[in-house]
Amino acid sequence: MRTPYHQLMRTTRRQLEILVGLGEDLHFSRAANRLDIAQPTLSKELRRFEKQLTFSLFTRGPNGTRLTPQGERLLPHAQEALGAIVEFERQARAEAEPETGAQIRIAVSPSVANRLAPAILRRVDHEPRWNPVIVEVNTGAVVDTVAHGDADIGIGHCLQPVGGAHVTTLREDRMVVVTSTDVLPHGHGPVDLSMLTDMSLLIWERRSDPVYFDTIMSICRDRGMQHAPHLSTTRIAGTHYYLLEEGTAFAIVPEDFGLFLPDSISANPLTPEATVPLQAVARSGLALRSYAELMELIASL
């Protein structure tokens, strides 16, 4: 007499993680790295899971890894189930530490650290569900900080997902031109970059954040500065303000960053207007979904 199927099927958390991790990445090496297991172990556990199910979840071929029809139908249920587990554990940690809540490490880039990071801390100061700890990193280091496990989520501009990390856009942030008030006074209004052709663009090194660097250079090209001379630095803030104060350089930064500058430096919008995406990154789509409410809060600040 055959044992009823429902008595055979006892899905584990690890099996859900395998289906979700590989189903979202469709790449064995990235999924294994994301799950912190060896690729052969991932393959072995997947085969065991599929044998238990009595059908395949994935196919592997010349065009890469693909979900089978059964896998496609089961993936959203696995995501929902695993998300419920993660949310349960987060809430349990908050209940265990009602005075502080569950700690969440948030990596932020310099363009976020000035206004948004303090606003996050201020907004959730009396919210028992969240206990955010801000981890300030250099431009271009947000994704790596999260991927290496040194932060739970990251907030920055023009983030590029790598190593299985997942990115979602929170909003579009307006860009402003910052330079000496002797060149552009406070309240000058929209700036035509053709006014600044005899000045250098102060920008971080391309290798630190190629996507963000290329976005800024594209903004310059689209506004007639085809060959904008630029000065590379590790970060614009702090010791490099003097280059802006001297009136020999300008920078293009998110508006939030421009709100916290010395009085000797002005911030004015571009014409035509330019924006860049403010984004959040986590090690998986599941992790982002588990912090969905916090992401909505951050996007509103």
Structural domain containing residue 113: 98-170+278-300
Task: Render pLDDT for 28-76 as a digit per residue (tens, 0 to 9).
Answer: 887 887 777 888 999 999 999 999 999 999 998 888 899 999 999 999 8
| CATH number, domain with residue 250 | 3.40.190.290
Provide the pairing of β-strand 130-136 with 102-108: parallel
| CATH number, domain with residue 153 | 3.40.190.10
pLDDT at position 84 is 77
What SS3 string covers the chain? CCCCHHHHCCCCHHHHHHHHHHHHHCCHHHHHHHHCCCHHHHHHHHHHHHHHHCCCCEEEECCEEEECHHHHHHHHHHHHHHHHHHHHHHHHHHHHCCCCCEEEEEEECHHHHCCHHHHHHHHCCCCCCEEEEEEECCCCCHHHHHHCCCCCEEEEECCCCCCCCEEEEEEEEEEEEEEECCCCCCCCCCECHHHHCCCEEEEECHHHCHHHHHHHHHHHHHCCCCCCCEEEECCCCHHHHHHHHCCCEEEEEEHHHHCCCCCCEEEEEECCCCEEEEEEEECCHHHHHHCHHHHHHHHHC
- Residue 236's contacts (CB-CB under 8 Å, 6 or more residues apart) are 110, 202, 203, 204, 251, 253, 257
Note the pTM of the prediction, 2 decimals: 0.70
Query: For residue 164, what are the CA distances in angstroms to 31, 71, 206?
Result: 7, 19, 22
Same domain, 154 and 102: yes
Same domain, 271 and 195: yes
Same domain, 107 and 224: no
Same domain, 164 and 176: no
Task: Render pLDDT for 66-114 as a digit per residue (tens, 0 to 9).
Answer: 999 999 999 988 888 877 787 677 667 667 665 555 678 899 988 888 8
Tally of structural domains, the chain: 3
pLDDT at position 293 is 82
Same domain, 43 and 70: yes
Same domain, 165 and 284: yes
pLDDT at position 1 is 43
Residues forming a β-bridge with 277: 172
* Cα 118–Cα 121–Cα 123 angle in degrees, nearest 5: 105
| Tens-binned pLDDT, residue by residue, of the chain (301 aa) | 455 555 456 888 889 989 988 888 888 887 887 777 888 999 999 999 999 999 999 998 888 899 999 999 999 888 888 777 876 776 676 676 655 556 788 999 888 888 888 888 888 776 666 778 899 988 888 988 887 778 889 999 999 877 567 889 999 999 999 999 999 999 999 999 988 988 889 888 888 788 888 999 999 999 888 766 777 665 666 667 788 889 889 999 999 887 778 899 999 999 999 999 999 998 777 777 778 888 888 889 8
Same domain, 82 and 135: no
Same domain, 211 and 65: no
Locate 64 and state its tokens. 């890469």
Same domain, 156 and 194: no
| CATH number, domain with residue 29 | 1.10.10.10
Question: In 3D, which of 13, 12, 24 has the Cα closest to residue 286?
Answer: 24
Same domain, 283 and 159: yes
Report CA torsion sign: 74, 76, 81, 83: positive
Same domain, 29 and 82: yes
Same domain, 196 and 244: yes
